[in-house]
Structure formats: structure tokens, C-alpha cells
Amino acid sequence: MHASSSQPPEVSEIGEVSGTGRTVRTVDVLVIGGGIIGLVTAWRSAQLGLRTAVADPAPGGGAAQVAAGMLAAVTELHYGEQDLLAINLASARRYPAFAAELAEASGQEIGYRACGTLAVALDADDRAHLRELHELQQRSGLDSQWLSGRECRRLEPMLAPGVRGGVRVDGDHQADPRRLARALLTACERAGVVFHRAEARRLLVEADRATGAELADGSRVRADRTVLAAGSHSARLAGVPPHVVPPVRPVKGQVLRLRVPGPYAPFLSRTVRAVVRGGPVYLVPRENGELVLGATTEELGWDTTVTAGGVYELLRDAHELVPGITELPLVETRAGLRPGSPDNAPLLGPTALPGLLAATGHHRNGVLLTPFTGDVMGRVLAGEALPEAARPFSPQRFPARAAHQEQPA
């Protein structure tokens, strides 16, 4: 067990050695999982003055190391997800203030860039699909504008000549998830969060109440409240009663990183995306010249292999969209696991087990929903009821039997 070197442990937790020789530490809040969702929860918890610990062998890692960081509330709109749209929009609106607050707390920028997004169509099928998305956006009162192919190319001259039309969404921006994770880690350390660099192995439950966790190094962290925020691994923690296990599964995404050689001649000025042969492809240009190209969506359990087929399909589809990408250096290929849930929406707040809360299942929207999740978890940890906007996302919305059955093997 290692505490963060930047914060004396005695400030934030009480430690003792039990009769069995195990180290037992006591905190107010233990967060299981140190990805961006766990970190934002821990940061808000520590800001409340609660003694807060995070258990994770590599805090700041996880899906954020792979994600592109699109804040795509409008361009990733789907039928039947009106409640999710509401919190996605709320979180997108929170981003500028959240980024400023985090920069102040950590001394680091998170690459928030108000660049907008252009979704384009390459053939008649894609165009019909995009028209439907645009109509859904209009019916939902969202700000989006239909453009001809020529208008799309005027905005983004690197687009293929065959682009048949597009939807311009000036409110869908981006942040850099790796910088976001680093900044949250620093903000947590500065706020006094203690990091246990070990995996949580078992939830401790006494008298029908969660009381912390046993870690892989054999130590125990006792906590008044325990937050399950382990992303796609959230259903794997031993000791969680079956009816409380969150129905979260891994959804693989392969992502490539290219580099636009500096000084960065304009290549793309905004996020460009399309559905090509039924699969989404997107290109997210950063100010530092990084160009993130994603992403596959694969139901393959815990597999994180980067495959020749995945890379081929991403490059093939992106090349149809923006032919010039084949000239760029390919600097990284990586796969990550989205924490998918049965309704593609997160699980936020108290579970059916007293003392156990969840902040997981963010699926495609983890980066986008980081500010909202921090706000909600902070209010719940402060003793308030689950805020109105988060009530549709209570972990208790899934029937217990389904939650048990849908656990990954």
C-alpha cells in the first residue's frame, strides 16, 4: 500500500494494524477505481472535507488513456435517449467552468477546445442516416445545421471531394482525456486524497452494509461510504451481493493517433466524423498536432488486442473521409474498454446496499460526463438526495435479476 507522496497520510486517513497483522486504514470515503470518474468523485469528496482514499494500481489510467475526448452530446444523439441527452448537454455546458476550476486546482490545462464538430455523409445511405440524425436533433431542439457537400468542404478543405452533405454542430467540442486524467490526479493529491496503489479485491460488508474493501496487498481500507467507480471492471469486485452488482460490461474500442507535422498547418479545424458502411469513424484534431482517429466498437470481453483488421478498417474509412491522412505519421495504436451498461447510460448514486455508491457505466460518454458526475457524486456524498437530473440514472433502476445475469463471465 502506498500513499501519495504529496500528501501526508495522517492528514487524510487513520491507520492501525489489526489483530490479524493486517494494516487497516479508516477513511470517510473509499473510491474503488482511479480513472477519470473515480478521480473526479474523489476530488469532490476531498473538497467537502471528507477523508478520501482511492484504490487503484495505476490511478489516472483506464479508458481515458485511449479515448478521443469528444464532447459529442449532439452528434452522438440516439433515439430513445432523451434523459441521457439532458445530462450530456448539462455536462457539456459545465465544461468551461469545470476546466477553469481544475486548471486552478491542479495548475494544468486539460486541452478543452471549443472547436465544434462536422458530421458528414459519403454516400446515399450515409446521407439518409445523417438526415435522420439531423431531424432528430431538430425535433429535440438542438442547434445543428444541414450543409451541402460543397459547404462542408469550404469549412474543411481536406475533406474528400465525394462528401455528399453534412451536419454542422458548433456546440460539440473536445477535451484531452490524458491531460484531464493527469490534472484530476494532481487536484486529488493537492486536496489530500490518499492513493492506495493496489487493486480492490473484495468489498467488505458487515451487517448488510458496505464498510470498505480489502486490497490485493492484503490491507484493508474501512470506509463509511465506498464508491464503485472501476469502469468496465465494476462488475468484477468480489463480495458485492449479487442483487447489487452493476450490469456493466467491457466494450472494446481501438483508436489510432496520428501526428500533423508542426508548425501545424491547418489539417482539420474541428472534429470530423461520419458513419461509413454502418460504422462510426471520427477524427479529433488537437492544438498540439495530435490527430485522434477512432473508434471500433467490439463486444469481445476483456480483449484489448490491437488487430490488423481494426487498424485497417479505421484507416480505410478515415481515408475515404479525409484522403490526406495517409501522409501523416501513425504514432500510436491502442485499444481500451468502455464501461457499457444495458441502456448505454451511467449508474450514479446509492446502490441498494447501504454504504455502497456507484459511479460507473458511462459507456461512450465518460469524458463528456466527468463534470456532471463530479457534481452529482459530490452532492450525494455531502448527504443530499440524488439530484433530480440524475434520478433516471440511479443504479437501482435495473431489475436485480438482470443485473446478476448480465455480469461478465
Q: Give the nearer residue to ligand GLY in terms of CB position, either 81 or 101.
A: 81
Minimal distance in Å, beta carbon 255 to ligand GLY?
8
- Give dist(CA 160, CA 80) in Å, integer: 32
Residue 75 in grid coordinates = 452528434
Q: What character string, x for contact with ligand GLY (CB under 6 A) and - otherwise, covers 212-251?
A: ----------------------------------------
Count of residues that bind ligand GLY according to CB under 6 A: 7
Name the minimum Å distance from CB 354 to ligand GLY: 33
Q: Between residues 233 and 364, which has the closer beta carbon with respect to ligand GLY? A: 364
Q: Is 70 in the site for ligand GLY (CB under 6 A)?
A: yes
Which of 196, 197, 338, 362 binds ligand GLY (CB under 6 A)? It is 338
Within 8 A by CB and 6+ apart from 341, the residues are 246, 247, 248, 249, 347, 360, 361, 363
Q: Which is nearer to ligand GLY, 28 or 343 (CB)?
A: 343
Shorter beta-carbon distance to ligand GLY: residue 134 or 252 = 252
Q: If we measure between CA atoms, which residue out of 227, 225, 245, 224 comes closest to residue 236? A: 245
d(CA 235, CA 214): 16
How many CA atoms, within 13 angstroms, populate the side-chain half-sphere of residue 253? 26
Between the CA of residue 335 and those of 68, 253, 340, what are the distances in Å?
A: 12, 5, 15
| Strand arrangement of the beta sheet that strand 290-294 belongs to | 145-148, 165-169, 117-121, 271-276, 279-285, 290-294, 249-259, 330-340
Query: Which of residues 34, 253, 346, 355 is near ligand GLY by CB under 6 A?
Result: 253
Per CB under 6 A, 340 contacts ligand GLY? no
Find the binding residues for ligand GLY in span 352-391 (CB under 6 A). Answer: 364
Closest separation between CB of residue 294 and ligand GLY, Å?
A: 5
Selection from 197, 133, 122 nearest residue 161 by Cα? 122
Q: What's the min distance (Å) between Cβ of 170 and ligand GLY? A: 18
x/- map, 146-185, ligand GLY, by CB under 6 A: ----------------------------------------
> By C-beta, is 205 or 295 nearer to ligand GLY?
295
171 and 194 in contact (C-beta within 8 Å)?
no
Whole-angstrom Cα Rg for the chain: 22
Question: CA-CA distance, 229 to 77, in Å (whole number)?
Answer: 25
295 forms part of the interface with ligand GLY (CB under 6 A): yes
Distance in Å, CB of 68 to ligand GLY, minimum: 6
Asked if residues 172 and 117 have their Cβ atoms less than 8 Å apart, the reply is: yes
Residues engaged in binding ligand GLY (CB under 6 A): 70, 76, 253, 294-295, 338, 364
